[in-house]
A = this chain, B = another copy of it.
């Protein structure tokens, strides 16, 4: 069996050389899996526990990721703990425990992690509807644009040159792009924890964050293409933007009619919960696939799918069985009780698709974050200079977003500004893509990770303090 070169810096060339070599190693396992798939009995008996071993590692990662949720005790978002746990698991090799090393390159686990982020963006799309975005309207758009433009400009023409002198323009481009990201997931979670999800500030931040995700993903597409083509071609930029915009507009216009059409057909077939979920997952994954045909990332399609999917399309489908039973139980009770219970069931029914998706995301989404954390090489952190750089990047990351609060209108501008600050998964995606493209080296990647972790860590603290102070 061919050996993969170990302990070498991953330059793009090396990465690909490594990939090809890797393919031989992974190839065997993949083939074994292909055989083992439905016959693990024989596979295991024959000493090939590839599938079973993957189950074992999967079990550990799922439980470890959830164990990390103890950070919620300290009012920190679980995602922070998941990433931190990933960093720990991914660096156990430093103390000679390399059980998890093969997992880092396991195609099955890599797919499940990718599946996880697709489900996450789908959920974010479900949480935010087109109508919500229209309601918060211009303010959200302005905050989003400023919240993207300011960090990008500061990142490309200030952070890059100053903190990473001698770097290529492409590197600076990616830095700017990384700073533009806003994690709607984390933002929403913070406002939710504070119980101010319905405040005007929250509405604006959520709307802006949603738009931010789309703009950020277009920027990622542009920057990636620019790095790949080596030049800033206006035509190319316009084509990519047109493609992305065209896809999204097409989805928003045609998508909802298609969704209505298909749900209409399936309601005639079967109105069970399983069908409802299968339609949702099917739409999510199919859009992820179609978006890739438009040169966009699967997560863009997944997000768009969540955006257009509306509970109203699923009215005809069965609700959680508990709802029907409760309705029957309060049938003969006094009017006010029946009314109150009815309201509860109605409220839950509106978010029933999210509830139905929850168990799937409970398992898959943390996988993406613990996996991302596993990619952090702590060796590069043993460097005072890096830490200083990371702090500088973090400072600019906050400054760039706080600026966007200024255009938020007659609201608490600080809450909006800080609400835009967390980078979370989107920032990490930028960092990973940049690293894979070879324009973001281990040190810069580590700095970005630190920045993402600090924005994720500090925002809840500050935001909570600001909201409490406002009351």
Contact = CB atoms under 8 A, between A and B. Distances in A.
A108 interface: yes
A88 interface: no
A111 B220 contact: no
Interface in A315-370: 320-323, 325-326, 328-330, 332-334, 336-337, 340-341, 343-345, 347-348, 355-360, 362-363, 366, 368
Contact of A344 (B46, B326, B344): B326
A322 B323 contact: yes
A285 B436 contact: no
Given A30-B26, A270-B66, A285-B56, A278 B362 contact: yes
Interface string A12-29: 000110011011101111
A220 B38 CA distance: 13
Contacts of A357: 359
Nearest to A291: B52
A59 B110 contact: no
B278 A37 contact: no
Contacts of A105: 34
A296 B41 CA distance: 6
Interface stretch (A158-166, A195-203, A221-229): A221-229
A285 B359 contact: no
Contacts of A336: 333
Contact of A333 (B23, B330, B429): B330
A254 interface: no
Q: How large is the interface on A (under 10, 10 to 19, 20 to 34, 35 or more residues)?
A: 35 or more
Nearest to A283: B59
A145 interface: no
- Most chain B CB atoms below 10 A, which of A22, A30, A290: A30
Given A362-B273, A362-B278, A285 B55 contact: yes
A467 interface: no
B270 A69 contact: yes
Contacts of A113: 37-38
A233 interface: no
**Chain A contact residues, majority secondary structure:** helix
B228 A42 contact: yes
Contacts of A62: 278, 281-282, 285
Interface in A44-84: 44-46, 49, 51-56, 58-60, 62-63, 65-67, 69-70, 72-73, 78
A249 B298 CA distance: 46
Contact of A19 (B34, B55, B111): B34
A188 interface: no
Contacts of A115: 55
Contacts of A20: 31
Contacts of A23: 27-28, 30-31, 34
A56 B436 CA distance: 24
A34 B72 contact: no
Given A52-B288, A73-B270, A274-B362, 18 more contacts: A31-B107, A39-B437, A40-B299, A42-B228, A44-B296, A44-B297, A53-B292, A55-B286, A55-B292, A59-B284, A60-B286, A63-B286, A277-B359, A321-B355, A322-B322, A325-B344, A333-B337, A359-B360
11 contacts: A26-B27, A37-B111, A42-B433, A46-B228, A59-B284, A63-B278, A66-B270, A73-B269, A273-B359, A278-B363, A328-B344
